[in-house]
Structure 1
Amino acid sequence: MHTPEVVDWVNKEWLKRTGKIFRDPDRGIRSLYQKGYLKKIDKGIYRYDPNSINLRNDLKDFSPKLKKQILKLDNYKCMVCGMSIKEGVELQVAYIKAKDLGGTTLLENGQTLYSKHNFLKKNYKQTELGKKIFIRMLKNAKKAGHNKLIAFLEDILKVYEKHNIDTHISS
């Protein structure tokens, strides 16, 4: 199944089972995969087979206490853009290394992200997310003609290449 079909199925099943509308289907699908209800076939493609459900209990969420510690450690600001609730953004505590990629529920693996950046991160590694953001910033800087920013961002992207990091992501 491709993601759109899974989203439709999850929404319908959630409504049928709980009587409520599913708030964030993409996150829910990832959660179902992490828990073992779905098998990931390829990026955005999942398989549901009721005969091969392999439930996992090793993937824990951050506790409320740990979330507060992470928010405090990050000064209640998004680690990507620096925005806070003062600017009207929703902050979330996110994994630096995703749970299903082996990330642990420890203070060192938590970060504060603006909900938009957390959604963009999905299951990317931290460096992958960074590179994608720098590429996007470079495109915007070029449109706006900010030459100083363009040079800065091009230098950063050269560092990715120099160290052979995330070469599968191109601009």
Structure 2
Amino acid sequence: MSRTIRSLILEFFYQHPKQDLEHGPVVDWVTEQHLKENTTPPRDIWRTVRHLHQEGILIKVNKGVYRYDPEQVTNRELFDFSEETKEAILQRDQYQCVVCGRGRKDGVELCVDHIKPKDKGGDNSIENGQTLCTEHNLLKKNYTQTEAGKRYFIKIYKQAVANNDIRMINFCKGIFDVYDTYKLNGHIKRPNGKE
């Protein structure tokens, strides 16, 4: 049975404890080991490294540089909201997703999410929590908040076009213009013909 990308990354960092490791050597070694057991190249190696950092297993030293410190991992606290804090956040948000407004009354599963993640200095306070439905929680995990927002407005725009809702079409175009003005998420093509 072949080893997972995660297990290969961990193996490499375990072999080099307390060393600052750059992107290149990690990716090269993991790719080499993966290809010994698989015919296709590995995917998303660096995304997995970032996830290991978010879990508190790796330390981010600089952009593209991470370190494994066994002492830090042994002493780290698990980073999650307490049950009391989760309940307080759910109550504050009225048991509804702060993005779409759906909630328990709609049969939607809810998650309590960190607004600012641990790796960016976030904490477990009520103020740093928000209620999301599983769909919007997944979107946020897969994309930055601005990426998730742009994709959400693309969805609204397409619905507005289908309904010939000129007011909403123009509203969405205005939002896309703001993304363009501030050069945010240009890799996500806007649906109304502009880049």
SS, match of residue 122 in structure 1: helix
Partner of 2:128: 109
CA 1:160 to 1:62, structure 2 compared with 1: closer, same or farther past 3 Å? Answer: same
Partner residue in 2 for 1:141: 160
1:96–1:36 distance in 2 versus 1, CA, 3 Å: closer
Q: Which residue of 2 aligns with 1:20?
A: none
Match of 2:84 in 1: 65
Q: Residues 48-87 of structure 1: matches in 2 within 5 Å?
A: 55=73, 57=76, 60-87=79-106
Amino acid at match of 1:122: K
The aligned residue for residue 23 of structure 1 is none
5 Å-filtered alignment, 1:86-105, equals 86-105=105-124
Contact 2:179-2:185 within 8 A present in 1 as well: yes
User: Structure 2: which 5+ runs fail to align?
Assistant: 8-47, 61-65, 190-195
Q: Is the 8 A contact 1:103 1:109 kept in 2?
A: yes
Matched, 1:34 2:34: no
Gapped regions of structure 1 (runs ≥ 5): 10-27, 41-46
**From 120, 123, 128, the counterpart of 2:139:** 120
CA deviation profile, 1:117-157 (whole Å, cap 9, x unmatched)? 10111064433322221123223433443332211111222
Shift of 1:29: 8.8
- Give the match for residue 184 of structure 2: 166
Q: Is the 8 A contact 1:93 1:111 kept in 2?
A: yes
Query: Residue type of the partner of 2:92?
Result: L
TM-score (norm 2): 0.57
> How do residues 1-12 of structure 1 correspond to structure 2 at under 5 angstroms?
5-6=4-5
What displacement does 1:95 show? 1.1
The alignment of Structure 1 onto Structure 2 pairs a total of residues equal to 140
2: CA distance, partners of 1:63 / 1:121? 21
Q: Is 2:113–2:131's contact at 8 Å kept on the other side of the alignment? A: yes
Which one of 119, 131, 136 corresponds to residue 150 of structure 2?
131
Q: Percent identity?
A: 42
Q: Indicate the RMSD between aligned Cα atoms, in angstroms.
A: 3.4
**Matching residue of 2:24:** none
TM-score (norm 1): 0.64
Q: Secondary structure at the match of 1:145?
A: coil
Report the Cα distance in structure 2 between the residues aligned to 1:129 and 1:160, rounded to whole angstroms: 12
Q: Which has the larger radius of gyration?
A: 2
Instruction: Please state whether the residue corresponding to 2:132 is helix, strand or coil.
Output: strand
Residues 59, 100 of structure 1: 8 Å contact kept: no
Note the alpha carbon deviations across 1:93-129, whole angstroms, 9 max, x for none. 0011222232221112111000111011106443332
**Alpha-carbon distance in 1 for matches of 2:185, 2:127:** 26
